[in-house]
Structures are given as C-alpha cells and as structure tokens.
Structure 1
Amino acid sequence: MINRKKTTLAVSIASAMLLNQAVAQEEQQQDSDGGLELITVTAQKRVQTIKDVPATVVALPPENINDLLGAGENIRALAGRVPGLQIESSNGRQSPRFYIRGLGNTDFDVNASQPVSMVLDEVALENVVLRSVPLFDIGRVEVINGPQGTLFGRNTPAGIVKIDTQAPEFGVDTGYIRGGFGSRETAFVEGAYNTEINENWATRASLKYQERQPWVNNPVRGTEVGGYEELAFRLQFLYEGDDTSALLKLHGFDQDGDMPQIFYGNALEKGKEGLREGFDPETVYHNQPSGFNMEHIGVSLKVEHDFDALNFVSVTGYDSVESFSFADIDGAQPVGSNDCTFDRFVAQELGCFLFDNGSGDGLSDHYQFTQEFRVFNQIDQLFYQAGLYYFVEDYTVDNNVLDADGATLEFYQVDQKTTSYSVFGQIEYQHTDKLTTTYGLRYTDDDKELVINRVTAGDPLEYYSKGDSYLNWDFAVRYELTDDTTTFFRAGNASRGPVTIGRFGFYSEAETETLTSFEVGIKTSLWDDNARLNVTAYQYDIDDQQLTATGGEANTNSLLNADNTTGRGIEMDFETILNDNWRLNFNLGYNKTEIEAEDLKAERCAAQAVTEIAICTNLDPVVETVDGFFGPVTTVRINGNQLPRAPKWIANIILNYEQPFGEGYLYANTDWNYRNASPTTLYESVEFVAEARWLGGLRLGYKTDDGFDVALVGRNITDEIVVDGGVDFLNLTAFINEPRFWGIEMGYKF
C-alpha cells in the first residue's frame, strides 16, 4: 500500500511516485560488491527492473539529463543518447519530432500525428506543440523501443519517450538550486523545494527560467535574431492515507522568442552535400519579420486505492496550449531588393530569392483531456492489469501568409477534434522460476472531425470526418538463463489512427497504419555486477504506413499511405565500472528501413522559374509532370528508398572520471554522439541530407559532500556545424545544429 503504515501498496506496480522515491534511493547506493546500481523502470506501468521487462528499455538518470541540458538545450538534446532515438524540429525550440528505429513524421504542421508517443507523468501529450515543455527537476527518462499498442494505445508504433518528474516525498525538507551562464549570453536558473506538510501531505514546487540573447545578424532588416526566454513551473501535492494515495500536479510553460528556427537561404550548393563554401552561421538575409510565443497550462491527478482484492488507479490529465510562430521560411530577401537583381536560382548567391511573403502557424482554442482507469493485482504466479482509456483533443490551427511588415495577406483556419476510446488488458504468468510469458490486448475506436475555413477568400466551410477501430496485441516470453542473464522474445503490433490535415486550405488524409514487430534480446550482468550488456535484434513490417510529403515542388503537405515498409536492426547498450575512478557507457544502434510501394510517388524539390530545372540533384526516377496550384509539379518514384531522417547508425559514448579531493571530489565527464547521413525528404537527392556528424560534450567540475557543485560545461566542443534539415520548396535553404557552447554552472543541493 502506498502508505507508511501498511505494505501492500508499497509495491504498487503502477506507481510512478514510488518509482521516483525508489530510484532516488537506489542511485545513492551500490550493491554489496560495489557494482552498478539497480535500475527500475515503469515501462509496463509497474515498477520492475530492466531485466524483468521483455523489451528494449533504456533509462537516463537525472544527472546525465542535466549535463545534456546545461547549454540552453531543450528535449532535442536527448537525441541519440539511447539506441535508435532521434529528435529534431524545423520549428526550433517548439514542436520536437521524435523518431525511434527510423520511424517518425517529418511533417512540420502543428496538427501532424506522430508514431512516437511522449508520456509525461503518465499523461500522453498528443500534440507536438505540447511536447515543447522544458525538462527540469526530472526523476527519470525512459525510452521504450518498439510497438507499445497494448498498454499505451494509439500512435505508439515506434515506441515511447516516457518522462517522470520528481514527485513529493515524505520525511524530508530538501531541494536544490542550479544556475549557469555561457555562450551567446545564455543563462538559466532552476530550483525545487520539497517538504512534508503533515503525516498525510507532502508538496514539491519546481521552477525554471532560461534565456538567450540574439546572436545572428540580419543586415536586411538591421536586427539580430536567435534570442528567446522561457519560464516553466510545477506545483505538486501528494496525499497518503491508509488505503489511498493521490498526487495533484499543476504545471505551466511560457515561451517567447524572435525566430522559431533560423533558416539560411541558399545555404546549400547544387550537386554537393553539406553547407556551401563560405557559409556563415551568424548571418542571415531575411526581409520578413519573425517571432514565436507559446503559453501552456495543465493539471493532472493520479489516485490509487487498495480494495484488498485488487488495486485501482485513476489518471486524469488536462492540458491547454496556445502558440504562434512566424518567419521568413525561404531564409532570404527577394530578388530586386538591395543587391539581389538576378534571375531566380541562376546565380545561386547567398541571401537572394524571389519570394516576398512569410508564413505563420499556431494553435488557438486548444485543449486535451485524458482519463484512464486501471485495475491490477498479483495472485500467486499471475499478474494482471486492465483498463479503460478516453482521449479528446479539440483545437483551431491558424495559417497566415504575411507581408514584409508582418501584416496578414491570407488567413486560413482549420478546426479539428479527435475522440478516442479504448479498453485494454495484460496478463503475465510465471510458469517456473525461470520462465514467464506475457499477453496483451487493446481495442481502440478513433474519430476525427475537421473543418477548413478559407477566411480571406470567403469560401464556404468544408467539413470532413474520418474514423476507424482497430485491435492491437502483444506476446512475450522471458527466460532466465542464469541469475545474471535473461533472454526474451517479443511479438506485437501498434497502430496510428486515421489522420486528417488542412494546411493553408489544402485537405489531405491517410488511413490507419499498423506496425507488426518481432524482436529477440538478451540482458546480462558481467564481471561481478560491474558491467551490464543489453542487446536486441528486431524486424518490423508496416501496413499502410502514413507518410508526409512536405513542401516539394507543389509547396503543400500531402499525406500518403505506403503499401508496406520494412525495418530491421540491432540495438546494444553497455555500461561498466572500469575501476574506482572511471565509468563507461556505450550504446549503438543499426537500423535499415525501406519503403516497399511500387506505385508510390512524391513531389521532387522546386524548379527554377525560367528553365524549370530542379534546384536539387534528384536521384529517383521521374514519373510525370502535372499541373499544380503554384505551377507544374514533377513527381518521382520513391519505392526502395529509406525512410527520411532514419540514419542507419547511431552511437553514443559517455566516459566519467571521479577523484576524491578535499571535502568532495573532482570529476570529468565527456560524451560523444554520432549519426550517419540520412535523407530529410521522401525522395533522395544529393543536397537535402541530414549530414553525418560527431558531437562532443565536456564537463569539468568539483562537488562537495554537502551538496555544492561548480563546473565548466562545453557542448559541441569541436564546433562541428552540419545540415540538420532543409526547405525544398523555395530554394536551397537549410537549418543547422547548435554551434559550440562554453559556460559555467553552479548548484547546491540541500
């Protein structure tokens, strides 16, 4: 019992509150042999060790997360830190897009659905804008690879990024404060305070503020851009009675900045991969105004009760967000202004382009409500859990075409409502001391309603609806070869429900996609628990995969269904204590994806206005040229291509050193993250590629036994600047990764 008087709920299988407390204790101690700490997770909505979970699960402790976020970074800093995980955004600090095992969605639309779910304190955040929340006062981040359709439901074919914040604790008055300052006048301060109010109530308050000054010069408008400020808070109250516990959380986030993403016009050169010679990350040529803002507020309530015969859990979540971002998407000033006097695309000079409009997108009148009821119990060798889930999201998308003064020229609105119901269950049976099997099933019903309003044109409203119901399942076998080694086999599927979009008045839809996966793995402890190794091999097939052709020659977002897509790969996670001073973490992921759809085609990149020659070097066979809204559109066949933003190789290395000194210890941490090149579009070209890169970090510091910490922090210490993404419907525009950062951080735990 989640109670200090009884013990039944003390092993509450679904309790994230217990997880946070248990992990905090476990990370402060090692086993009797001085080996690695025990790691517990809630990948199956109950507290288990990683070896007990028949799936690929990697947990990132708060110390590692803090190191990665110390340079003014946001959740994108977690990219590549576990096998198969990628995170990117064409909206800068807003709307991060997740990819696991090569599966994600490149669609930059604010109502685009994703095949990777983000779960914050047991509440799934559906919209990509909601996923912009800063990470602070974190208990643990878990990444669960592969389909999770049974327990977590819709839109989880690729996996889950599961974030648990630090919950209140009883018996302690504790907290921390951290702050730092560094390159590009980046500064942050954050803190938390935990206290026990009385024997039944505890509370925790957390706060983070972060800012950066503009650092990129825009000579066209005589301004500097690249600055932002963010403020986030979290207030929690924990109640514990004899048979009942409840956790109430109120949280919010406010963000403002002068440019959502820094687009560099003509940053690429036709016929070559990578940035053109002479590229300068500190200069842009934008004739359009830009900016972004977001306001988010949310509340959640988790209630658990012990009915003796079974345990009951209720998780309720409500979130509302308003956002708007606008920018000069082509990243350049138009031909005819200042020194830009040549024909479109002919000279290919940096900073010139014949396009005089900007665009803006945002969410208004948004809310998301979720409710889950779940029961569970352990009866001898049998564990079961079953539940009901309800989800509704309703919002308005605003699309604006803007002139050089920021005034609206064209205005479109899309109203969308999604409603989903599901019922699910899971059974785990321990046949012997070594053999355990798991069975899961979930039924889901999805409905979408979409209305397009071309406000400027005054056209009649257009109404669309789409719905589907589907069944997801999983089956797993776990076998303990020895006390130190466990193997598992898992088969299962998950679905992404039907999708509708209406960006700038263009309606598009896609049918439900379903991924079926088979994987086998081994998890073992080595060298008297001084090392652990987890390896998984997998293969998946996707029926009717939802793909998005973004931009291209048609300059629209089009939803497609591929007949079949396949993927296969290997994931490895290794951690070891080398000696009393050194510790090593290493993970590696190999993933090969392929679109198998002989008749599937997509628009290639834009073409020159006069010659109609494509601005990029297309590598796919041309199918045909047809009339489009903005002129002729050439389509190419994409059968056999790898999925966009699906690098075959991802690797991460972390090396830690500690040396006792005085009343504490000196420490040095370095981390290196690698990915190889991958296309950023459905079609393949020489130019539109997310380049291969190694990014290195460094942290040199001193900690005292009484909680004081000071460190020198470096991110991307080799200053490797590469293409992270591009815009293919205007010119050879690109955006890049963060330049080198150096800073100082100080903190105190009390």
Structure 2
Amino acid sequence: MKLLGWSAALATGLFSNAGFAQVETANADTASEDRIIVTAQRREQSPQDVGVALNVFSGAELIDQGIDRINGLENASPNLEIENQFGSGQPSFSIRGVGFRDYATNNTPTVGVYVDDVAYPIPVMTQGVLFDVERVEVLRGPQGTLYGRNTTGGAIKIISAQPTDAFAAGLTVEGGRFGRVDAEGYVSGPASNSIRVRLSGATAHGGDWQVNRETGEEIGSAEQYALRGLVAADLAPDVEAIFNLHGFIDQSDGLGLQLFNDSVFGPLAHAGRRETSFGSSTTFANLIGIDEGQHPFRDNEGWGTSLTLNAGLGDVTLTYIGAYEVLNRKEFNDFDALTVGGAGVYFETSADVMSHELRLSGDTGRLNWVGGLYYSKEDLNELYQSDFVASFGPGFAVTTPYNQNARTLAAYIHGDYALTETLSIIAGVRYEDENRALRDLGTFSVGTGPLNFANGTIDGTLENRDLNSDNVSGKIGIELTPADNLLLYANYSRGVKSGGFTAYNTLNPNALTPFQPEKLNAYEAGFKSNLNDALQLNGAIFFYDYKDQQVQSAIFDAGTGAVVGRIVNADSEIWGAELEAVLNPAPWLTIGQSLGYKDGEFTDFDDLDIAATTLAGMEVLIDRSGQDLGFPNWSYQGFATAETAIAEGWIASARFDYSYRDDLALPLLGPAFAVDDYWLANAQVAFGPEDGRWELALWGRNIFNADYDETRNFFITGGAADVAAPGMPVTYGARVSVRY
C-alpha cells in the first residue's frame, strides 16, 4: 500500500544516516523549515544529534521508493536484510548480520519491531500494510535500555501519523502493472476543543505476476484491507491520552517458488522466475480442506488496540502504554514447487500479545534520563501441517499441534550526562526475567495410524517443555561534540535474544530440547557531521562478539541412532562498517549514497555432519570455526532527486534510486544454494501545484527488469527439488494524490 502524502520538497529534507528523510508539509511556504525529529532515545532529537547508527524515513520518502511493507526497508537501509522464509509470511530480520532464519512461528526475532511504541514479538505479525505513516526509524545494534523488548540486532520503529489540530483529509489511488490497484485515505481533525481524531484506511487488489507452468493459472493477486482510528484527548493540563484501534484482513495469494535445480523433473528446472508450480497429495488436501491444485494463499485477520497516557509532572514525564494484539492466520505454502505433494505446509495460527509499559523520564539540566518497567504475555496456539507423501510414501500427511506461552518482565534505566559542553557519557542497564512454556506438542501421521512421533508412543501423550531465563544487558558510551557540526561517539552495548523451542514436526522428542538465549557484546564507534551546507557525512565501524548464536542444525540421538533437526547454539564474531552521505550540489538537486560492509565467522561451533553421521550410525562432528556465517557482505543504496518550478505555482520533480545486495553464500547448505548478487533501480516523475493540494506521479520499479532471488533452499533431499523465492520483475504505474 502506497503511503499517503505529498512528495514535494524533495531537495529540502534532512538526510539521516543513509535515509533521505522528509516531513509532509501543510504548504510549500514552510518547506524550508521542515525537520525530521526522532525519538530513538525516548526524547525528541535531530538524527544528527543521536550517537546511534540509525536511519529515518518519512512517509513521503517511503512513497517515492514504493515501500508498502516493512520488508522493503532492506533496499533503503545499509546492512539490513528482511527475507520471507521460503516465500511464506514468516519474515527473518537481520541487521549487521545478526539474524535468525526460521520459518516457524514461535521464536522471537533478533530485530525488534515496534508500531507506535508497541512491540510485535511474533514476526509474522509485522507483515501488514504500511499506511498513513509519519516516519520509520531503523536502529542498528543491540537495544534494551530504552525499549520494551530486548534484541541483539536492532529495532525498527513505525510511527503512525497523528491526529491534527486542524481539519485535514487525503486520498491516494495507484494503479500498476499486472492489474494492481492500491488506495488509501485519511480524515483528521478536532472533535472538540480537547479531542482530536484521525481515521485512515488502505486497500490493495490484483497483481497476478506469476504463472503455473503446467496449467497457466496466474497467481500473485493481493486482497488486503486495513483500518486505523486514533483519538487524542487532553484530559488535563499536561495530560494527554491517545487511544488506538486498528485491524486488517489479508486474503492475498502466497508466493509461488521457482524450481531452479531438479534431478528428477529436469526439464522443469531453470524456468523463468515468474513460472512456478504447486500441488498437494489427496491425503493432505483432504486434511486441510483444499483442492489438490490449490495455489498458495493467506487468509489472515487481526486487530489490536492500545492506550498511551503522557502526563507532565513538573520536570518529570510519566508514560504508560497498554496494548493488546490479536492475529488469526491461515496460510498454505508449497515449498517444493511441484505437483506431487513433497513439501506442502499449512499454518493455522491463533496468537495474542498483551503488554504494559510504565516509564518515567526527565531532563534535569545536564542529565537526561528514562527508566521503566515492562510486562508482556504471549499466547500462541498453532496447528502446523505438512505434506510428505512424495518424500515418504502414501499416507504421510503430518500434523503438529502445539501451544506456547511466554511471560516477560523487565526493568530498565538509561541516562546521558553532560560532563562538559562538549563531552557526555551514556549508560544504561536492563534486567529481564522470562518464562517460555511449550505445551501439548505432538506429531501425527494421518495416514499411518495414531503414531505420535514426538515421543515414539501410540498413547497420544503430548510433549511439554519449559525454559526459564534471566539476563542483564546494558550500554555504556561517550559522545564528543568538538564543533557544532560534528558528533563523535563510541559505545559498548550488550543485547540478549530469547531462547526457545524447535517447534517443527519431529521424529524424536530430543528435538524439543530448548535452545538458550543468545548474547551479543557490541563495540561501535562513529561520527556524524555536516561539513557545510551542501554535504552531510556519517560513518560507523563495529565489532560483535556473538555468544550462543542460534543456528539451524541437527543433533545425533545415540539412544535411537537418529539424526534430529534442531536449533542449536554456537559462538561467532561479526565486524563491519557503514558510510553514508548526502550532497546538495545545487538548490534543486540532492544526491544520497550509503555503503555497508559486514563479515563474520564462527569461532566455536562443533556442527553435526549429517551425511557422515547417517552413514556411520554414530555422531560425526565438523569443526566450523573460521567458517563464514552466511550473509551478504556488501550493501549499497543511492538516490538522486531533482525539483524545479516549471511555471508560476507549479512544480515538477524526478527521483532515481537504486540498491545493491551482495551475493549470499549459505555454507551450511552448500554452494548450490548460493544466491547471486543483484541491483534494483526505481524511477519516478511527479507534477503538481506548489501548495501540494494534488499530485500526479508516474513510476517504475525494478526498471531494468533484474532477475533475482531473495533466498534458496530445499525441502526434498537428494536434489529432487531445489527452490528459490523469486523477486518481482519490472512494474510500472501511476499515482494520484489529493490532499485538503
């Protein structure tokens, strides 16, 4: 969904650590005074005054880049990757190489995602439409002393456009290739002297860009609806309440995988990336209630509500945020891109998250501080079902039910103290206690009797596991401002990511042994500078000491002689740098560039050699110390924008942006599954009046029609079906925006 807003004032926005940021303006007369303000440190600051590596993107910037979901940020921010696992609705977030590839629903991400300060700890919850957004902040590095959740990789903050004091309304309609139509709108204004209201909504339809290579059926269509209502009320002097109620429906097609290597159905491999296939066995189709030729689909809905209270108590501000989020998910994917029922999967998920956060913050001259308490409770019920008929024979349609509960309690405090006018120290600490409980997990083969593979019995007994952990994390650093236009900073921070359970179908109860929380010790130094009115330059270097990194692997069960797939812990190191610049060589021209580099290797990981272990009937290990971690080393983003008056009262603008992702080697899978590097480029021209009342834009995305894959893997062993999640081809279209 294309974010509502006006893309004027392209050359006057602020560049913030690689993200060219803009603020929507009520009229062109105030464009020169536009400023981006971030709340990365729980108070309003310019991005250039924050000693943290971050990007900030306004709603207008996201529109111009065609970013309609959180996943699109990977093409705008250095050292950020967001992959949907096997093309499913389960995303994997990675910042600076700190990520966790897992298509299961039940484990926490390394990157925290917040919407209006409410954490979304279940990754699949983040895949909704971005609409009516004020800004998005991307923070790189461990977080925990300022936010409700604790993360090792970083955080992404989405801030919705807020109710306005004066009446405002807008509507955007966009049409594109493959019959895609998007629309969104908002109405905002005062309901009384003390109450302000904002209603916004979005919808998307069409877009069949893939085709079944056997039947010619087209898939890829969107069918999405989203609504949000915000009410801001002044309850008393210096006391404000914001009530947020939102919901969505997503009945879109899923992604069809591409078959790129196939030793059994050779002529079908290496087809174009728009070609796919799908199919289910009779047993599996009957089990989940679909036709055998059903294409991948989503039938998801969710809603949520939150209440934010801000009260000024003299020099101290009291903030309370209470939230409740619900997701109901039905999703079918075909992980083999064949008609034979080798790896179809179906998720039926019910999840809800309740959270409460209470914090105090203050500014006492030299000291800025914030402290808080956080509590959350997650309840996840899931039925995960798999089609293994082509792999293991008739009847092997497998169902895995389970329930997982998580309770998190944390306390944190963070402050920065100005020792002198040019030198400040920053320190924070966090304590977190967490309980995760896996209940009633079993794996049943529908066609072979009531055998429960979770514990090897036929009595129907289900497995239970618990993981209790408590961790301390924190941060200490310095900031030096030797000149008004220069900030130098150095930080040490420690982040923690929750442990969890390998909640897949399994032949062995040892697969359910919990993996432990991972810890990241991060060392970072950087600078932010405005060298003159025409050049802004920022940079950072970092080194990560990664303990108990969570990795997909396997173990050997000596009791049964079985190889058991399981997430395990390992140690590693990551290092890298980012350099970002924005240049204004002329009043009408802005050029931005960002370059990210990262590399990493295991330092202590005795991994199971699955092939050798299976052959020997005993555990055979591989020392993977020194082996590459498997993520793209280089990322590069850039843009150029131009704006000019073409007649009195009329403005034309143009934008060209591009991004590069380095090749992705996956050493744990082998060279066949390496993903080639690729470039993506977008372009836009726009026209409208200076007052921003309306705009007409023509755009193109992936304009050079690059063929690329997001990721590669396999689900049928022996090379019978190696699959890739393909990226979209060139698209183009037009957008009309009207504002009042």
Q: TM-score, normalised by structure 2?
A: 0.85
Question: Secondary structure of 2:62's match?
Answer: helix
Query: Could you tell me which residue of structure 2 aligns to residue 367 of structure 1?
Result: 352
- Post-superposition offset of 1:285: 3.0
CA distance in 1, matches of 2:86, 2:339: 20
- Post-superposition offset of 1:509: 2.3
- Post-superposition offset of 1:565: 1.0
CA distance in 1, matches of 2:470, 2:462: 27
Partner residue of 2:520 out of 510, 515, 523: 515
Structure 1 position 720 matched with structure 2 position 725 = no
Question: Secondary structure of 2:274's match?
Answer: coil
Query: Could you tell me which residue of structure 1 aligns to residue 45 of structure 2?
Result: 48
Query: Could you tell me which residue of structure 2 aligns to residue 280 of structure 1?
Result: 272
Question: Secondary structure of 1:111's match?
Answer: coil
Change (3 A) 1:28 1:152: farther
How big is each residue's C-alpha offset from its partner over 1:212-234, in whole Å with a ceiling of 9 and x where there is no partner?
Answer: 24343325456332222111111
Query: Could you tell me which residue of structure 2 aligns to residue 401 of structure 1?
Result: 386
Query: Could you tell me which residue of structure 1 aligns to residue 500 of structure 2?
Result: 499
Contact 2:86 2:335 in 1 (8 A): no
Percent of aligned pairs sharing the same letter: 23
Query: Could you tell me which residue of structure 1 aligns to residue 61 of structure 2?
Result: 64
CA distance in 2, matches of 1:385, 1:129: 30
CA distance in 1, matches of 2:115, 2:218: 35
Change (3 A) 1:408 1:232: farther
Partner residue of 1:558 out of 555, 566, 578: 566
Contact 2:709 2:725 in 1 (8 A): yes
Query: Could you tell me which residue of structure 2 aligns to residue 190 of structure 1?
Result: 184
Query: Could you tell me which residue of structure 2 aligns to residue 340 of structure 1?
Result: none
Question: Secondary structure of 1:65's match?
Answer: helix
Structure 1 position 567 matched with structure 2 position 574 = yes
Change (3 A) 1:397 1:532: same
Contact 2:86 2:257 in 1 (8 A): no
CA distance in 1, matches of 2:381, 2:616: 30
- Post-superposition offset of 1:639: 3.1
Query: Could you tell me which residue of structure 1 aligns to residue 6 of structure 2?
Result: none
- Post-superposition offset of 1:420: 0.6
How big is each residue's C-alpha offset from its partner over 1:253-298, in whole Å with a ceiling of 9 and x where there is no partner?
Answer: 110123x221122x1379xxxx998522332232332322110100
Look up the equivalent residue of 1:724 and give its one-letter code.
E
Measured on the aligned residues, the alpha-carbon RMSD in Å equals 2.9
Query: Could you tell me which residue of structure 1 aligns to residue 724 of structure 2?
Result: 734
CA distance in 2, matches of 1:24, 1:215: 33
Higher alpha-carbon deviation: 419-428 or 529-538: 529-538
Question: Secondary structure of 2:178's match?
Answer: helix
Structure 1 position 262 matched with structure 2 position 259 = no
Query: Could you tell me which residue of structure 2 aligns to residue 485 of structure 1?
Result: 486
Contact 2:144 2:474 in 1 (8 A): yes
Gaps of 5+ in 1: 1-21, 335-354, 604-621
Change (3 A) 1:432 1:601: same
Question: Secondary structure of 2:505's match?
Answer: helix
- Post-superposition offset of 1:521: 0.8
- Within a 5 Å distance, the mapping from 1:225-244 to structure 2 comes to 225-240=219-234, 241-244=236-239
Look up the equivalent residue of 1:41 and give its one-letter code.
V
Query: Could you tell me which residue of structure 2 aligns to residue 697 of structure 1?
Result: 682
CA distance in 2, matches of 1:678, 1:556: 26
Query: Could you tell me which residue of structure 2 aligns to residue 410 of structure 1?
Result: 398
Look up the equivalent residue of 2:62 and give its one-letter code.
I
Contact 2:336 2:723 in 1 (8 A): yes
CA distance in 1, matches of 2:206, 2:219: 10
Contact 1:118 1:161 in 2 (8 A): yes
CA distance in 2, matches of 1:556, 1:667: 57
CA distance in 2, matches of 1:213, 1:599: 46
Contact 1:110 1:362 in 2 (8 A): no
Question: Secondary structure of 1:63's match?
Answer: helix
Question: Secondary structure of 1:500's match?
Answer: coil
Contact 2:119 2:149 in 1 (8 A): no
Look up the equivalent residue of 2:174 and give its one-letter code.
G
Query: Could you tell me which residue of structure 2 aligns to residue 7 of structure 1?
Result: none
Contact 1:117 1:156 in 2 (8 A): yes
CA distance in 1, matches of 2:499, 2:209: 42
Change (3 A) 1:261 1:634: farther
Look up the equivalent residue of 1:655 and give its one-letter code.
A
CA distance in 1, matches of 2:220, 2:312: 52
CA distance in 2, matches of 1:590, 1:276: 37
- Post-superposition offset of 1:404: 9.3
Change (3 A) 1:729 1:708: same
- Post-superposition offset of 1:377: 1.2
Change (3 A) 1:324 1:508: farther
Structure 1 position 297 matched with structure 2 position 287 = no
Change (3 A) 1:651 1:357: closer
Change (3 A) 1:404 1:51: same
Contact 1:287 1:404 in 2 (8 A): no
How big is each residue's C-alpha offset from its partner over 1:545-569, in whole Å with a ceiling of 9 and x where there is no partner?
Answer: 1112499xx998521100x211111
Change (3 A) 1:197 1:633: farther
Look up the equivalent residue of 1:248 and give its one-letter code.
F
Contact 2:523 2:542 in 1 (8 A): yes
Structure 1 position 82 matched with structure 2 position 80 = no
Contact 2:170 2:738 in 1 (8 A): yes
Change (3 A) 1:311 1:683: same
Corresponding residue pairs, total: 670
Change (3 A) 1:504 1:316: same
How big is each residue's C-alpha offset from its partner over 1:576-613, in whole Å with a ceiling of 9 and x where there is no partner?
Answer: 2221221111111011111112423465xxxxxxxxxx
CA distance in 2, matches of 1:41, 1:413: 42
Partner residue of 1:386 out of 371, 383, 394: 371
How big is each residue's C-alpha offset from its partner over 1:485-509, in whole Å with a ceiling of 9 and x where there is no partner?
Answer: 1101111101012211321245252
Contact 1:264 1:332 in 2 (8 A): no
Change (3 A) 1:196 1:490: same
Contact 1:555 1:729 in 2 (8 A): no
Change (3 A) 1:626 1:174: farther
CA distance in 2, matches of 1:211, 1:93: 19
Contact 1:623 1:637 in 2 (8 A): no
Contact 2:708 2:726 in 1 (8 A): yes
Higher alpha-carbon deviation: 681-690 or 428-437: 681-690
CA distance in 1, matches of 2:554, 2:482: 48
Gaps of 5+ in 2: 1-21, 281-293, 453-459, 556-561
- Within a 5 Å distance, the mapping from 1:580-599 to structure 2 comes to 580-599=587-606
Higher alpha-carbon deviation: 454-463 or 480-489: 454-463
Query: Could you tell me which residue of structure 1 aligns to residue 472 of structure 2?
Result: 471
Question: Secondary structure of 1:503's match?
Answer: coil
Change (3 A) 1:294 1:682: farther
